[in-house]
Structure 1
Amino acid sequence: MQIIKDKQIIDDSWNYIIDDADLEPGDISVSLARWKKDKQQLLEREGKLGVRMGPADSVEDFAADLKDLQLIELDFPAFADGRIFSHAWLLRGRYNYQGEIRATGHYLPDQVFYLSRVGVNAFSPEKTEDLPVTLANLDDFSVKYQTSIN
């Protein structure tokens, strides 16, 4: 599968592991709940680690662990929930997280410019055919009136 990262279409090397599935080798992400439950086991395995968080999750719940994570996935269950924007801003602005922040789930292509303004640098559209439109939307505006993360 392909994603957009840093304004380029690339192959995705990450696998999301659902909570009750066995851990796989390679680069994986898990839910915040699984991270909290299996943190030591996850840290002992080979490969990069990521956490997927939803709108109801709290960045503060794992802020001390950010140094161990190379990916934070922000999962949009519905495009009407804006808390994900705040999560991205907190990760970059308050906690100075330097790893990949990826939008997944039900976000609109029209939202990617604004997501990039609060620190999201990777996008995983639901359909591969949406990659060119999503990439183009990152350059929707040439002038920015407000300061932001980027």
Structure 2
Amino acid sequence: MPKIIRDGQIVEDAWIRVCADANQPDTQDSQAYLLPLHAWLEESAHPLRAPWLASDTELTDALAASLMQAPLIGIDFPDFNDGRGYTLARQLRTRYQYQGEIRALGDVLQDQLFYMQRVGFNAFALRADKDLQAALQALKPFSVCYQAASDQALPLFIQRAQGA
């Protein structure tokens, strides 16, 4: 079984990602599947189905309301320099208050993990050629962050001014 990083730990991944152009699994199948958004919308009531969003997904209020019932939401990074997934994660966490797992998928690199975590990702499916132990260390490169983000509501200068 493949492994991912979830909540700062390396764990086994029970979810199988289905590609956008692949045949969709049988609805009676008891395996957990990460489905492309269009396929998940047809099976959203199934407890072992979760969506993954393409980086160009437009997150509307109606779509976000549907996503709130998902056990996890995957966000695809088709290329390491495509940053649109950061915006999707930040919107899900801050605007829509999604509390479940948000997983980075695709071309996810160790150098990006800390910043992905700051905007709301809590799980990372790295490429097969990447070292999960080394990537785990990348989640903690800075002891203090100046900017506000999903994981820190107030910027450091306000925290200091308030005596925190």
TM-score (norm 2): 0.81
Which is bigger in relative contact order (C-alpha 8 A, separation at least 6)? 1
Mapped to 1, the partners of 2:11 and 2:145 lie a distance apart of 27
SS for the counterpart of 1:59 is coil
Mapped to 2, the partners of 1:67 and 1:21 lie a distance apart of 22
Mapped to 2, the partners of 1:125 and 1:32 lie a distance apart of 20
What is residue 36 of structure 2 aligned with on the other side? 31
Mapped to 2, the partners of 1:25 and 1:58 lie a distance apart of 30
User: After superposition, what is the alpha-carbon deviation per residue over 1:65-94, rounded to whole angstroms, capped at 9, x for unaligned?
Assistant: 123201111111001111100000000000
SS for the counterpart of 2:34 is strand
SS for the counterpart of 1:143 is coil
What is residue 48 of structure 2 aligned with on the other side? 48
Question: 1 or 2, which has the higher helix percentage?
Answer: 1
Deviation at 1:129, TM superposition (A): 4.8
- Does structure 2 retain, via aligned residues, the 8 Å contact 1:2–1:128? no
Mapped to 1, the partners of 2:149 and 2:67 lie a distance apart of 21
Deviation at 1:54, TM superposition (A): 1.4
Deviation at 1:17, TM superposition (A): 2.7
TM-score (norm 1): 0.89
- Does structure 1 retain, via aligned residues, the 8 Å contact 2:103–2:123? yes
**Alignment equivalent of 1:22, drawn from 25, 34, 37:** 25
Mapped to 2, the partners of 1:16 and 1:68 lie a distance apart of 18
Mapped to 2, the partners of 1:140 and 1:105 lie a distance apart of 22
- Does structure 1 retain, via aligned residues, the 8 Å contact 2:36–2:53? yes
The sequence identity of aligned pairs, in percent, is 37
User: After superposition, what is the alpha-carbon deviation per residue over 1:8-41, rounded to whole angstroms, capped at 9, x for unaligned?
Assistant: 01111111234523233232211012123x24xx
Mapped to 2, the partners of 1:115 and 1:90 lie a distance apart of 13
Gaps of 5+ in 1: none
- Does structure 1 retain, via aligned residues, the 8 Å contact 2:108–2:125? no
Deviation at 1:55, TM superposition (A): 1.1
Count of aligned pairs: 145
CA RMSD of aligned residues (A): 1.6
Deviates more, 1:17-26 or 1:64-73: 17-26
Change (3 A) 1:104 1:145: same
Mapped to 2, the partners of 1:79 and 1:8 lie a distance apart of 22
- Does structure 1 retain, via aligned residues, the 8 Å contact 2:40–2:49? no
Mapped to 1, the partners of 2:101 and 2:129 lie a distance apart of 20
